Amino acid sequence: MPTEPLFHPISAATEPFIDIEFDGRRLEVLGQRSVAAALLAAGVSRFRSTPVSGAPRAPYCMMGVCFECLLEIDGVANCQACLVTVQPGMKIRPQEGARSWEAVHTAGGGSDEDTTEASHAA
Residue among 62 and 107 whose Cβ is closer to ligand FES:
62
Residue of 57, 60, 63 whose CA lies nearest to 45: 57
Contact between 66 and ligand FES by CB under 6 A: the answer reads yes
- Write the interaction track for ligand FES spanning residues 74-113; mark x where CB under 6 A is met and - where it is not: ------x-x-------------------------------
- Provide φ and ψ at 25, rounded to 5°: -120, 145
Stretch that binds ligand FES, among 3-11, 17-25, 57-65, 93-101 (CB under 6 A): 57-65
48 SS3 class: strand
Q: Is the dihedral of CA 62, 68, 73, 79 positive or negative?
A: positive
